[in-house]
Amino acid sequence: MAAQISIREYEAAEKQLEAERARPGLAIHAVITLVVSIALIVVNVVVAPQFPWSPFPVVGMSIGLLAHYLYGVRWLERSIESHQQAIERRAAEMKGAGPMPA
C-alpha cells in the first residue's frame, strides 16, 4: 500500500520532477539549434554567398529556444502552480456537485 501524502507534498514533488525534466530538454534543444544554425550558415556561404539569408532562420530558431527557456525553465514553477490551482478548483467543483455518474 502506498504511503499517504498531503496535497502540498504532492505539489512539491510534481514541481521537482518537472524541473528535473526541463533542463535536459532545453539542452537538447540548444544543441540542435546550434548544429542546424551552423549548417545553415555553411550552406549559405558555400551555395549562395551573394545573399546572406541564413540569419533569418537562425534568429527564428533562437527565438524558439528563448521561448523554450522562458516557458519551460524560467517560468516553469509559475506554470505548474497555475495548473495545480486549476486542478484543485476542478476537484472542489466536482466535490460540490455530488457523486459522479458511473
- pLDDT (tens digit per residue) in 16-72: 998 888 889 999 999 999 999 999 999 999 999 999 999 999 999 999 999 999 998
CA distance linking residue 40 with residue 12, whole number of Å: 42
Rounded to two decimals, the pTM is 0.72
Q: In which domain, by residue range, is 80 found? A: 16-84
- Would 73 be classed as within a structural domain? yes
- Would 32 be classed as within a structural domain? yes
**pLDDT band, very low/low/confident/very high, at 101 (cuts 50, 70, 90):** low
Cell (9 digits) for 8:
502540498
Indicate the DSSP class of residue 53: -
Contact 74, 18 (CB under 8 A): no
- Would 90 be classed as within a structural domain? no
CA distance linking residue 14 with residue 81, whole number of Å: 10
Q: What was the pLDDT predicted at 62?
A: 97
Q: Residue 102 pLDDT more than 60? A: no
- Would 2 be classed as within a structural domain? no
Q: Residue 100 pLDDT more than 60? A: no
- Would 91 be classed as within a structural domain? no
- Would 98 be classed as within a structural domain? no
As for how many domains the chain has, the answer is: 1
- Would 9 be classed as within a structural domain? no
